Chains A and B, each alone.
Chain A
Amino acid sequence: MKPLVVLDRIFKEHRLGGQAVQALARVSMEIHRGEFVAVTGPSGSGKSTLLSILGCLDRPSRGDYLLDGEKILQLPRRRLAELRNRRIGFVFQSFNLLPDLTALENVGLPLFYRHERLRNAAARARMALEQVGLSGRTDHSPAQLSGGEQQRVAIARAIVNDPDLLLADEPTGALDTATRDMILALLVKLNRIGLTVLLVTHDSEVAAHAQRTIRLRDGQIVGDSGMAIGQRHSISLEAVR
């Protein structure tokens, strides 16, 4: 089966006041549909940068990124927005909900940007909230919700468009252990029903829930537990080049 994600020798430099910071160097990997991948590494190792690139929030400085076979590098901003909208769900440590909108409206936001009709959107947003166990909180504003509930709203927003790939950047970083476990259980459940999940964490207990762990250091992959067939294949490919 064709991999969902192919990164081929990705480099990413951030410019900070005229100085270039090498955030990713020669990162290559493949992710297949249905995988649950944990990305770990010390702070500053490039995990968030990797997720930004996978999530089409940022473009690599060099290298190829194929999302379901489509080359991302040359796509216009408009098309990137469309990809973020339809194929990718994003969950952050700080939830990133819009404070002026209710839970239901926050969840419906991606549908609004794909021009879904209002009634349809409301129904789908309600279903997504149900999936994360929050059907009773539709009209609450984020401020009225606990951290765990806010993160569940964020997850509902990430899955409302039925994405191919869920990207989570330290989603449990701001939560206590009980809530953390609940969020993790939710992500595992979503993965069981077919969602591909890529989760950044430096909590080894969280990483233990994943089938595969990728280790980053100084912008490079220093370990990949799930050297699956596809992965070996890509390495051999690289050798051929």
Chain B
Amino acid sequence: MRSLSYILFAVRSLRAHLMRSMLAVIGIIIGIAAVSVVVALAEGARAEVSRQIASLGSNLLLVQPGAQVTQGVRRPAGSSLSLTAGDAVAVAREVPEVVIAAPFVGDQETVISGDTNWSTLLAGVTPNFFDARGWTPAEGQLFRTEQVASAAKVAVIGRTLARELFHGGEALGQFVRIGRTSYAVIGVLAEKGQDFTGRDQDDVMFIPLSSAKKFTIGRAQANPDAVHTILVKTESADTMGEAGSWISRVLRQRHKIAEGKPDDFRVQNLVQIAHTRDKTYRQFTLLVSALAGISLLVGGIGVMNIMLIAVSERTNEIGVRLVVGACPADIRRQFLLEAILLCGIGGLLGLATGYVGARVIPLALGWPVEFNEAMAVIALACSTLIGIAFGFLPAERAARLEPSVALRHSG
């Protein structure tokens, strides 16, 4: 009851000086809004990365043609065509830790259905590619080994492509055309979302590797037998390193690379790459958070400034309160409470602003954002702490006033 009246007192005097209170609080609003937006972005990015890491599938290595890193310059993947389907077979056969080695060719192609066309990633794979990724069809089925052997004109497409070509209509059984070759859609994959590079994994069309070589991608290549990637699944996470070096050894031997010469391929651990990105992102977040924190600090100083002005303007009021029996602790509590309330209100408004920002940013910029309750509680706790920290000095100054001195200020 008593504390309630103290709060009411504080609310009233803040209301009585509304303009000043608003000005004092703006810094806190901006600070809290900035902090909460940054944290929401960071949380969103982290959630996205862990979703992507999960979507990468476990224990996957990526073998791609081209040197690892030459003098700091990384050549684009697939720029040389040193890998073949035979390499994939050899890796699977000769490296015991490898469970699956799936060859892959891919290129951006225009897919046509009726009078609709859409540019998508055309990928030529073998059925074990789907096994390696753990992908299953949402509708229809995947193609089988026999269909690869016979270079069948069948396709398994991603959700985005299905949507763009058939506008929500039935995709199964439809024919899609690339160049002069038509493929029957026999399966639609379950939705995957973006991969860790931000690419839409559902904007894709899979056809048998042999068909791709025979009708599209292979025809344009100097070496029709070349593949762009070999996706390798190892038996466990622990053996990935060992599998990697064995793969290198096997491939060097097959490519007849002399001792001391660099590899003409590279073996990458996708999860590791994603983690590295995550770490970089986290450091960036920390930096931006620190900047946002500084703006919060500036807001706190603003509140302290306004409270100091309030104390000197309301010296007579303090005197009157002392005359009727307020003790120094009462005065201290009053001004501290006002500062806390001011910052608390600022925190709430800042949080609301941040929330709106967190809603708008994904729409405007397409960045993932995650806004949760724990963050809201932390932001409010932060602003309250700022109120205590920066309200302390003004409150102390008010509490130190001698009644007779305070009263001599005409109010």
Using a CB–CB cutoff of 8 Å, the interface residues on chain A facing chain B are: 52, 55, 57-58, 77-78, 81-82, 84-86, 90, 92, 94, 96-101, 109-110, 112-115, 117-118, 157, 161
- Among B1, B2, B317, B325, find the residue whose CB has the most chain A CB atoms closer than 10 A: B325
Q: How far is the CA of A97 from the CA of B324 in the complex (A)?
A: 11
Contact A157 B324 (CB under 8 A): yes
Interface residues of B in 1-51 (CB under 8 A from A): 1-2, 5, 12-13, 16
Given A84-B322, A90-B323, A109-B324, 13 more A-B residue pairs with CB atoms under 8 Å apart are: A52-B403, A78-B329, A81-B325, A81-B327, A81-B328, A84-B325, A84-B403, A92-B407, A94-B410, A96-B319, A113-B327, A118-B5, A157-B324
Q: How far is the CA of A98 from the CA of B9 in the complex (A)?
A: 12
A57-B404, A58-B403 given; A96·B330 CB < 8 A: no
Q: What would be 11 A-B contacts, judged by CB atoms less than 8 Å apart?
A: A57-B407, A58-B403, A77-B327, A78-B327, A78-B329, A81-B326, A84-B325, A96-B320, A100-B12, A100-B13, A113-B325
Contact A118 B323 (CB under 8 A): no
How many residues of B sit at the interface, in one of the four size bands?
20 to 34
**What's the minimum C-beta distance from A78 to chain B, rounded to whole angstroms?**
5
Within 8 Å by CB of B404, from A58, A77, A86, A157, lies A58
**What's the minimum C-beta distance from A92 to chain B, rounded to whole angstroms?**
8
A94-B410, A117-B1 given; A77·B323 CB < 8 A: no
Contact B328 A113 (CB under 8 A): no
Cβ of B316 within 8 Å of any chain A Cβ, yes or no, is yes
Contact B327 A118 (CB under 8 A): no
Q: How far is the CA of A101 from the CA of B327 in the complex (A)?
A: 19
Contact B329 A110 (CB under 8 A): no
**What's the minimum C-beta distance from A208 to chain B, rounded to whole angstroms?**
28
Within 8 Å by CB of A112, from B5, B322, B328, lies B5
A52-B404, A57-B404 given; A85·B410 CB < 8 A: no
A57-B323, A85-B325 given; A96·B5 CB < 8 A: no
Contact A98 B325 (CB under 8 A): no
Give every chain A residue within 8 A of B313 (Cβ-Cβ): none
Cβ of B224 within 8 Å of any chain A Cβ, yes or no, is no
Nearest B residue (CB) for A79: B327
Q: How far is the CA of A209 from the CA of B181 in the complex (A)?
A: 119
Q: How far is the CA of A157 from the CA of B322 in the complex (A)?
A: 13
Give every chain B residue within 8 A of A98 (Cβ-Cβ): 317, 320-321
Contact A84 B323 (CB under 8 A): yes
Cβ of B131 within 8 Å of any chain A Cβ, yes or no, is no
Q: How far is the CA of A200 from the CA of B18 in the complex (A)?
A: 39
Contact B323 A96 (CB under 8 A): yes
Cβ of B411 within 8 Å of any chain A Cβ, yes or no, is yes
**What's the minimum C-beta distance from A118 to chain B, rounded to whole angstroms?**
6
